Chains A and B, each alone.
Chain A
Amino acid sequence: MILSSSEATAMAPEMAILVGILLAILVPNLGDAKARIPLTSFKFPILWGGTRFEITSDPRAPGIISTVSLAVACILSLYAIESSEGKTISGVMEITGFGRFMSMVFTAALAITAAASIYRIPSTKITVDDAKDADERITLSLMDNRRQVDLHILLMMVALGMSLMALSTNLFFLIVCLELASMASYVLVGFHKESRIGGEAGVKYFIVGSIASATGIYGMSLLYLWAGSLDFAGLSASWAAMDTLDPLAGIGVGLMLVAFGFKVSAAPFHFAAPDAYSGTNAPIAGMLATASKAMGFVAMMRVLVGFAAPNEAVTAWAPALGVLAIITMTWGNLAALSSENPKRMLAYSSVAHAGYMLAALAALGSGLADSNTQDLLQMAIVFHLSVLVLFKMGAFLVLTLLEMEGTGRSISDMNGLARRDPIIASSMFVFMLSLAGIPPLSGFLSKFLMINGLVTTTTDTGAVTATNAMSWLQSVDPYFLLALAIVLNSALSLFYYLRIGLLMFFEEPVSDSSLPKAPLLRVAILVSMVLTVLFGLGPASEWLLSLVETAISTF
């Protein structure tokens, strides 16, 4: 056995995903095939191949399999957060509360993506018999659920890679898992190969992504040269032992930041993101903006906080990250202001949100924060990543509904949505307000925690006693400006978030037809909306925060 039974239990969420992948391969191939016992005329059904049953050839079957298995994985992870006790597996993984919390976030995001993809890649039920000639026979045979199988297997691959990545204690294993998820997501981005933009987006995302990964792997090799180990424990010990910054270590970490910076779409590595988001279909774009971003941040935290945490001698990366954070959020917001494609706008808003979290990360690296504040900052990042799954993904789900009726490419397609479907429009408005960080929504709470962390980090640096603007500017710690930058950028972002609201409530609708039915998708949107509100105020937010706290304590 590769895994002992107790190890397999500890990895139950991954097992659930694996079972889902196997089922997605097996189930759609089940048919009424029979085998003949040799030398007799007796046939018995082997169910493998032949004409497939109605239920196994249903285009929705793979989607349901993947949604269910990802949801099961999500629930299993949720139950494992409190109970996981740091079991080590194969020397490269450790089952911690943090890892389990993150796999819950990843699988939740991907379960929603899978559920929405059921509607986004609909397939009319055409049997091969309807074909007029041989060519069409081939084309039509592609239109049954094999395409859906591909997509959903890839989605589960992404989940598996991300989930394992969160558990890894070894840099090499981390990169491998990251690549497993990335490779699958490159294909997913380009999955809509019929449309020209779809292919272009996939190729662009793949090329830029693989260059970023290659850079990161090069950085990793430098780190190996420097420390002689890729275990986080070993790297951490070598880092703490440094008196001055070793160039190999510095360049290594810097190059790794390029790879992760691409994943979280931080400026200046974000250029592929808007194209990828707008080229692919909305659920996949939602996955990139939530799960993929969370993966990048977890990897970044593993490297920066996990072993390259500032010691007295070396605080190398914090100023660079701080500058990067300010550029990222400002660039994202300014670009989002002028976006005319809603998915591009959300892509740039996602860039801006990466900037906010980078700012919190920079404060972590400043070496000014005491351990409580460090926990607070990490909590803020993780909390933000987890609630993003609700409102960022929710916004993309609304776009999915629009895409289903063939619109959603231009921001004017939002016109008059409130008149066509008040509930969907109100949900979209809640998502926008939450993205902007308006109390009492969960987007405010997470942003508030980040600002609070930044302010507390710099609270003793003399900013509060200054009497006029100049002396205040001189006495204030530069990291305090990060908090200021978040506030100013949030104000800036209000314009484009509220613009969506204005379009939905004030403009005349483009058509009077009601939006597509898609019950599962509507339920997902409503649940996201309700949770966005609940996680901002009251007992539900307390519960999630305490869960995050537990997770961070085992980071």
Chain B
Amino acid sequence: MSFTGPLSIITLVPLLSGLILLVLPNVLPSDISARMKASVRNVAIGLSSAIFLLTTLIFVGTIGQIDWLSIGMGDYVLETEDPVWLIESIGVTWHLGTDALSFPMIWLTTLLIPISMLVQWDAKDGHSFHSLLLIMEGALIGVFVSLDLFVFYIFWELTLVPMFFLIMIWGGEDRKYASMKFFIYTFTASVLMLVGILVMYFNTVADPNYAGTLTGHHFNLVLMTEQSRVDGLITSEGLRHFVWLLLLIGFATKMPSVPVHTWLPDAHVQAPTAGSMLLAGVMLKMGAYGFLRIAVAMFPESTLTFVPLLVFLGMASLVYGAVVCLGQTNLKRMVAYSSVSHMGLIFLGIATMQPLGFAGALFMMFAHGIISPLLFAVAGSFKHHYHTLEIGSMRGIAHHSPFLAGHMMLGWMGSLGLPLLAGFVAEVAIMIAFWMTFGWWVLLPALTLIFTALYYLTSMQKMIFESDDPHKGKLPDTMHDEEPRDVTWHENAGMFVLGALTILFGILPFIFWDMMSAWSTEFVQTYLVHAMNMLEVSP
């Protein structure tokens, strides 16, 4: 199982086919390439749907017969067995695997790609747009499946490239500034992360199978985690904290957390709808994923030491995001800041050091990955039909675009955490775990959620319902007396799927919750409790 395992296929097929679809129309003779350009989007959506099907088959157990509930931290399924060398001299291998931490994210990625293609089915220069989305899919899945830090880092950086071009070419008026800021922020942060990874690399012990022939070290994440569980990866405490902080900077910028979040609103506002959906849906989760997979798993002692910092960052993001949302007049900017706020909840969930908190954080990653693309799809079609993103500029969407109003309401309700919708499960789990660890301090985050409800409800009231003329509503000036329309069929279909999943995972969270919970319990018991004993603190 080298480059042919199911995980390799879902990583490499979209990556390579996206590259081919991107390049081929530019080199073929013009008459063939014109015909090809017209069919690229069909090929792209077909391919990504097939990959979604494949991932779903892996999940239900048809491929690989996996019992997801039995995977604890440290076990990986569909793992590459023999070392497949990429650079033997320094110990880089093609090593893939998945577990309850990464699989929901992989499933989410494969789901969101066809949906975001559908939502922007009529994108300008669609042949490049849809093939870039395919490249994006390969890079994102690569981040989640690779268990070799070198390859992980390459995929991590690779996700920047298609997203950069999506913002740069298909973005709004201020796209140049936004894409530049996006690139500089995330790139600088990941270079710091690279330094941390290198320090970890130099502290690995020689492994007979995976060590580089020249250097005697390896990038293998599984072995590193094992080494850190047994003797600690880095023995010097100061160095360990230093590396942990470097990793935190890299991951917190991606998540993003206050104070390194400022690239996010700009990038979101300028990005095309599909770009925003993937950015919020999956790319932000890369930060949380990497933080759990690398920083928390390898340096549990440092994580415990820095719990106050995590709580502070989480609270700051939560409160700051919510308060800024209250004052936003731009729809996309408001949704972007609400993402910052929700990412703060993930930090709080991790900071509780409870199995329930971890599972809550994992489920928050997943639920936010379904709801926020819905929000951005709503904002995108809003912009598409009303040519503006100003919240106050219009009234009564319910009158002239009932479908859009329906999706908007569902998305808004899901995001503010209405019971029986996906976001509620995660929020409640995190709050309970927070109460278990920090007692009545839970009132702080819990009361902040009122702000969340406040800004969602006011914006909803303004835009959807409030109206001077109950039969017509008020149209924004940017419409120039056009007749208002409802959403197009493909936008409607995309949002419908996301809305249905929001309800489905609100009613039946157990589809993913159980495996997340099992994994978190194992994680806390084997890794954190050991560290807690060493530091002599109680959970």
A452 to B202, Cβ gap below 8 A?
Answer: yes
On whether the beta carbons of B168 and A505 are closer than 8 Å, the reply is: yes
Q: How many A-B residue pairs have CB under 8 A?
A: 76
Docked Cα-Cα span, A440 to B216, in Å, equals 19
Q: Is B377 an interface residue (CB 8 A)?
A: no
Knowing A464-B203, A472-B236, A502-B180 are in contact, say whether A456-B89 is a contact too (CB < 8 A): no
Interface size class on chain A is 20 to 34
Decide yes or no whether B90 CB sits under 8 A from chain A.
yes
B87 in contact with A464 (CB, 8 Å)? no
Contact A379 B236 (CB under 8 A): no
Instruction: Verify A469–B238 contact, CB threshold 8 A.
Output: yes
A532 within 8 A of B: no
Contacts of B86 in A (CB 8 A): 537-538
- Determine whether the beta carbon of A538 is less than 8 Å from that of B180: no
Instruction: Name the distance in Å between A2's Cβ and chain B's nearest Cβ.
Output: 42
Hey, which chain A residues are within 8 Å of B187, CB to CB? Answer: 498
Q: Does B237 contact A (CB under 8 A)?
A: yes
Q: What residues of chain B lie closer than 8 Å to A448, measured between beta carbons?
A: 90, 198
Task: Please state if A379 and B214 are interface contacts (CB–CB under 8 Å).
Answer: yes
Chain B interface extent, by class: 20 to 34
The residue that A506 contacts in the complex, of B176, B203, B236, with Cβ under 8 A, is B176
Chain A residues within 8 Å of B214, by CB: 376, 379, 449, 452, 545
| CB nearest to B156 among chain A residues | A439
B238 touches A445 (CB 8 A): no
Q: CA of A72 to CA of B87 in the docked complex: distance in angstroms?
A: 30
Which residues of B are found within 8 Å of A541, using beta-carbon distances?
A: 87, 89
**Is A368 an interface residue, CB under 8 A from the partner?**
no
CB distance from A552 to the nearest CB of B (A): 11
Taken residue by residue from 480 to 513, chain A's Cβ proximity to chain B (1 for < 8 Å, 0 otherwise) reads as: 0000000100010010001000100110000000
Nearest residue (CB) in B for A433 is B157
CA distance A538 to B85 in the complex (A): 8
Instruction: Please tell me if the beta carbons of B203 and A449 are within 8 angstroms of each other in the complex.
Output: no
Would you call A464 and B168 a contact (CB within 8 A)?
no
Contact with B along A410-450 (1 / 0, CB 8 A): 00000000000000000000000000001110000100110
Most A CB contacts (10 A, CB to CB) among B87, B176, B187, B188 go to B87
Chain A residues whose CB sits within 8 angstroms of the CB of B237 once the complex forms: 467-468
| Cα-based distance from A469 to B88 in the complex (angstroms) | 34
| Interface membership of chain B positions 71-97, coded 1 if the CB is closer than 8 angstroms to chain A and 0 otherwise | 000000000000001111110100000
Does B191 have its Cβ within 8 Å of any Cβ on chain A? Answer: yes
Instruction: Kindly provide the distance from the CB of A20 to the nearest chain B CB, expressed in whole angstroms.
Output: 35
- The yes or no answer to A542 lying at the interface (CB within 8 A) is yes
Report if B535 contacts A (CB, 8 A): no
With A and B bound together, what is the CA distance between A211 and B154 in angstroms?
47
> Taking the complex as formed, is B153 at the interface, i.e. its CB lies under 8 A from any CB of chain A?
yes
| Contact present for B92 and A537 (CB under 8 Å) | yes
In the bound complex, residues from chain A placing their C-beta under 8 Å from that of B2 are: none
Asked if B305 is at the interface of the complex by the 8 Å CB criterion, the answer is no
Q: Does A71 contact B (CB under 8 A)?
A: no
Q: Does A465 interact with chain B (Cβ within 8 Å)? A: yes
Q: In the bound complex, what is the Cα–Cα distance between A255 and B231 (angstroms)? A: 50
Q: Is the interface of A mostly helix, strand, loop or mixed?
A: helix
Given A439-B153, A538-B86, A545-B89, A451–B191 Cβ distance below 8 Å?
no
User: Known contacts being A445-B90, A545-B89, is A472 close to B202, with CB within 8 Å?
Assistant: no
Residues of chain A within 8 A (CB-CB) of B89 are: 449, 541-542, 545
Do A467 and B236 contact each other (CB < 8 Å), given the known contacts A440-B154, A545-B89?
yes
Shortest Cβ distance from A522 into chain B, in angstroms?
14
* A466 near B238: Cβ-Cβ < 8 Å: yes
Is A230 located at the chain interface by the 8 A CB criterion?
no
B291 within 8 A of A: no
Separation of A239 and B188 alpha carbons in the complex (Å): 47
Task: Specify which of B89, B92, B195, B235 lies most central, judged by the most chain A CB atoms within 10 Å of its CB.
Answer: B89
Asked if A455 CB lies within 8 Å of chain B CBs, one says yes
Q: Is B50 an interface residue (CB 8 A)?
A: no
- A458-480 at interface with B (beta carbon < 8 Å): 459, 463-469, 472
Question: Is B215 in contact with chain A by the CB < 8 A criterion?
Answer: yes
Q: How far apart are A507's CB and chain B's nearest CB, in angstroms?
A: 9
Give per-residue flags for B192-205: 1 if the beta carbon is below 8 A from chain A beta carbons, else 0.
Answer: 00110010001100
- CA of A140 to CA of B203 in the docked complex: distance in angstroms? 68
Cβ distance B153 to chain A, nearest Cβ, rounded Å: 6
B211 at interface by CB-CB < 8 Å = no
Given contacts A449-B214, A506-B180, contact A538 B150 (CB under 8 A): no
Minimum C-beta distance from B436 to chain A (A):
32
Determine the chain B residues whose CB is within 8 A of the CB of A465 once the complex forms. Answer: 235-236
Most chain-B CB neighbours within 10 Å: which of A439, A465, A506?
A439
Task: For the complex formed, measure the closest distance between the CB of A480 and the CB atoms of chain B, giving whole angstroms.
Answer: 11
Q: In the complex the two chains form, what is the Cα distance from A366 to B323 in whole Å? A: 58
CA distance A134 to B133 in the complex (A): 67
How far is A51 from B157 in the complex, measured between Cα atoms in Å?
A: 61
Tell me which residues across on chain A come within 8 A of B87, comparing CB atoms. 445, 537-538, 541-542
Name the CB-closest residue of B to A455.
B202
CB proximity of A310 to chain B, nearest CB, Å: 22
- Shortest distance in angstroms between A463's beta carbon and chain B's nearest beta carbon? 8
Shortest CB distance B203–A (Å): 7
The 0/1 profile, CB within 8 Å of A marked 1, for residues 209-224 of chain B is: 0000011110000000
By Cβ-Cβ distance, the 9 closest A-B pairs, closest first, are A468-B238, A440-B154, A467-B237, A455-B202, A452-B215, A545-B89, A464-B236, A506-B176, A466-B236
In addition to A456-B216, A464-B239, A505-B168, 19 A-B residue pairs with Cβ atoms within 8 Å of each other are: A438-B157, A445-B90, A448-B90, A449-B90, A449-B214, A452-B90, A452-B202, A452-B214, A452-B217, A463-B236, A464-B235, A465-B236, A466-B236, A487-B198, A498-B184, A498-B187, A537-B86, A537-B92, A545-B214
List A residues at the B interface (Cβ < 8 Å).
376, 379, 438-440, 445, 448-449, 451-452, 455-456, 459, 463-469, 472, 487, 491, 494, 498, 502, 505-506, 537-538, 541-542, 545
Of the A-B pairs whose beta carbons lie under 8 Å apart in the complex, a sample of 7, sorted by A's number, is: A376-B214, A438-B157, A452-B217, A472-B238, A491-B191, A537-B92, A541-B89
